[in-house]
Amino acid sequence: MYLKEGCSLLLRVHKPSIPFVLNTNLILNSEPQRDINLNLINERDVVNRLKQELDSTSALCYFKFIANSESFKHTPLTYRIMIQRLGREGDMDGVRYLLQQMKLEGISCSEDLFVDVISCYKKMRAADQALKMFYRMQDFNCKPTVKIYNHILDALLSENRFLMINPIYNNMKKDGIEPSVFTYNILLKALCKNSHIDLACKLLVEMSNKGCSPDVVSYTTIISSLCNDGRIKEAKELANTFALVVPVYNALISGLCKECNFSEAFALFNEMLEKRIDPNVITYTTIINSLCDIGNIVSSISIFAQMFLRGCRPNIHTFTSMIKGFFMTGRFYEGYDLWNQMTLEGVVPNTVAYNTLIHGLCTNKSMDAAISTFHQMERYGCIPNVTTYSTLIDGFAKSGDLVCAVEVWNMMMSSGCKPNVVAYTCMVDALCRDGMFNEANSLIEKMVTADCPPNTLTFNTFIRGLSSWGRIDWAKKVLDLMGGYGCSPNIITYNEILDGLFKSNCFAEAVILFREMQEREFELNLVTYNTIIYGFSRSGRLKEALQVVGRMLISGKWPDDITFNTLIAAYCQHGEAETAMQLIDKMKAAGCCPNLISYTTLICGICKWGGLQEATDYLHKMLDVGIVPNVATWNVLVRCSFSKIECLGSIQLLDCLLFNGK
């Protein structure tokens, strides 16, 4: 078993430019000569031929042939068709050469031609080259209009070249060109994308003052950004100034759902229906996804059903949200059935959908099905990404299958998919769970050379693994080394170290670390308090544990079922079963429901100190609230019954217990 080193990057392979020379003495083959009647060639025939050629090489061969013949002189249109073909295939060297040839031959270059060239650069994500071409327009005696300005601004926005956009806009105003609504919309998007929402709002006012009425794109851009920034009230105020349309409703509903304000979100949804504005698939999917995120699958199903009733067909995003919701709430089979229904209806899964299914299968510990889905994904041409591999590695790690985790890692490396910090962290976890700490440490060091430095979560994972195996000295060294990697320990880091110290019986060191956390003004969370309470209780220091409970309450942290169960066990250990019984009632008053651990721990404590009848009473209470005893519960009672065999025949007692248990 081995891990492949390194991470091969997929480099973009640039196709060499087609050798292109005009006005040369070419030796022409006979085929083009047979196809072309030199006396009948006209512009329409040339345009059709250039469009019909299967590839740009053939089109270029034909273009050169007639350029060197006396049968036809190329026109602005034929040049444009050829430039478009070369541009679509990314041969921008050929495009520039043709433009230069047009200049030499005195053929006019239209603004639309430059729009085509800038669009090609935009598609190639070469905004710098697009800008250079824009500035070269005047060399071709072509003056820019608002149209070309809009396209260059859009090209810059596509790569978020924010600092370049404002100078171009200023040049536009200096040239005396009035911005159009499209211009303003690009500027609004640029401002909002770079967190300048207030400036965008001012620009919206300027836009109106100059007589350029904002359209639905303008308002949707601003409202979406306000909602994403949590400024729902301002978004609603702006929305009240014009007649709402579906995209604006969607933006508002999305913002409300992100704040879990479903009452207002549903109010807007109902308002759409009252105004006979049909919600679209985005509206439904936004609500469904938000409800699934908070685990409200029942309401999601209701909205999903409404979609069908109103004739709105769900898309891949809708199905993926619903499947995620089913998996999150433990309704695995319903999620899997919905996946099958989705594919039967002809909705083609994408990578995100496959990742959702694989994650659900891994969560359900169905690793065979997860890896089968992975291979199905590949067969259907859906390329796995780093999230796919990370999910599988994490699933195998949690199921204790290091061999399969390594195999998935090696598949990822062989495919050329570069691991990110999540993938590395999952692999570190897999190695730690198997006690392979040297390998985990080497992988963390490899992250630095692979230009993917470890983060705090990576170190927390390593420290947790070390602590769980009792390697607390190594864990403390890792804590000290984190700063050298540019990572600061957080509360989770200290919680892991604390837990390891207590479990390794390093009580004094744990207390010192606890004080250090307080001195560094870490905000202790419930996990911290529970860890310390458990540590004190486990060491027989009930008094100190109760003092920590007092500090926890003063800090505003309320105990949960783990806190109560720890204290119940501590009181039982000290022979104070009656106090432990009182904690069961206090749990209910505090809003925590006693669970199987609570009752089993209490029954064990009662039996230990001789209260068989009281233990049986709590068994009945346990059954009355619908909690089914497990093997541990029955073992406690059976052991207690045999210790009391002198008082009551064991067979009779067991019959009594089993009868009452039913």
Q: How confident is the model at residue 573 (pLDDT cuts 50, 70, 90)?
A: confident
Query: CATH second-level architecture of 179-277?
Result: Alpha Horseshoe (1.25)
* % of the chain surpassing 90 pLDDT: 48
- Number of Cβ within 10 Å of residue 161's Cβ equals 17
Supply the pLDDT for residue 289: 95
Supply the pLDDT for residue 149: 92
Please state, in angstroms and rounded to a whole number, the distance separating the CA atoms of residues 366 and 257.
32
Question: In this structure, is the dihedral angle defined by the CA atoms of residues 171, 174, 176 and 180, taken in order, positive or negative?
Answer: positive
Question: In this structure, is the dihedral angle defined by the CA atoms of residues 592, 597, 603 and 604, taken in order, positive or negative?
Answer: negative
Mean pLDDT to the nearest integer, 359-380: 93
Q: Is the pLDDT of residue 662 over 80?
A: no
Q: Which conformational region is residue 626 in: left (phi greater than 0), alpha (psi within -120 to 50 degrees), or beta?
A: left
Q: Is the pLDDT of residue 32 over 70?
A: no
In the block, residue with structure tokens 């619908």: 626
Q: Is the pLDDT of residue 404 over 90?
A: yes
Mean pLDDT to the nearest integer, 395-416: 94
Please give the structure tokens belonging to residue 321.
């949200």
pTM beyond cutoff 0.85: no
Supply the pLDDT for residue 20: 32
With vertex at residue 536, the alpha carbon angle to CA 477 and CA 583, rounded to the nearest 5 degrees, is 140
With vertex at residue 594, the alpha carbon angle to CA 591 and CA 596, rounded to the nearest 5 degrees, is 150
Residue 139: CA count within 13 A, CB half-sphere: 12
Please give the structure tokens belonging to residue 11.
């480099």
Supply the pLDDT for residue 3: 53
pLDDT tens profile 17-31: 433 333 323 333 434
Phi, psi of 318 (to 5 degrees): -65, -50
Mean pLDDT to the nearest integer, 446-452: 92
Q: Report which listed range, 68-82, 160-174, 416-430, is most confident.
A: 416-430
Q: How confident is the model at residue 507 (pLDDT cuts 50, 70, 90)?
A: confident
Q: Report CA dihedral (594, 600, 601, 605) to the nearest 10 degrees.
A: 120
Supply the pLDDT for residue 34: 41
Instruction: Report domain extents, the chain.
Output: 179-277
Q: How confident is the model at residue 12 (pLDDT cuts 50, 70, 90)?
A: very low
More confident residue, 236 or 7: 236
- Number of Cβ within 10 Å of residue 441's Cβ equals 17
Produce one character per residue of 183-204: b if its CB has 16 or more CB atoms within 10 Å, e if not: bbbbbbbbbbeeebbeebbebb
The whole-chain average pLDDT of the chain stands at 86
Mean pLDDT to the nearest integer, 315-338: 94
- Number of Cβ within 10 Å of residue 436's Cβ equals 18
Please state, in angstroms and rounded to a whole number, the distance separating the CA atoms of residues 273 and 316.
24
Q: Is the pLDDT of residue 518 over 90?
A: no
More confident residue, 577 or 368: 368
Mean pLDDT to the nearest integer, 165-180: 89
> Per 3-state DSSP, what percentage of the chain is helix, strand, and coil (rounded to 5)?
70, 0, 30
Q: Measuring CA to CA, how many Å separate 4 from each of 173, 392, 412?
A: 57, 17, 10
Please state, in angstroms and rounded to a whole number, the distance separating the CA atoms of residues 93 and 88.
12
pLDDT tens profile 519-560: 888 888 999 999 999 988 888 888 888 988 898 888 888 888
Q: How confident is the model at residue 658 (pLDDT cuts 50, 70, 90)?
A: very low
Q: Is the pLDDT of residue 269 over 90?
A: yes
Least confident range of 8-17, 128-137, 348-357, 515-524: 8-17
Contacts of 243 (CB under 8 A, 6+ apart): none
Phi, psi of 278 (to 5 degrees): -75, 120
Supply the pLDDT for residue 181: 94
Supply the pLDDT for residue 18: 37
Supply the pLDDT for residue 644: 56
Q: Is the pLDDT of residue 636 over 50?
A: yes
**Where are the alpha helices (H) located in 74-215, listed in sequence order?**
76-88, 92-105, 111-123, 127-136, 146-158, 162-174, 181-193, 197-209
Mean pLDDT to the nearest integer, 444-451: 92
Please state, in angstroms and rounded to a whole number, the distance separating the CA atoms of residues 374 and 415.
13
CB 580 within 8 A of CB 550: no
Please give the structure tokens belonging to residue 223.
């409202």
Mean pLDDT to the nearest integer, 147-174: 90
Mean pLDDT to the nearest integer, 223-247: 89
CB 607 within 8 A of CB 637: yes
Q: Is the pLDDT of residue 54 over 90?
A: no
What does the radius of gyration of the chain's CA atoms come to, in whole angstroms? 35
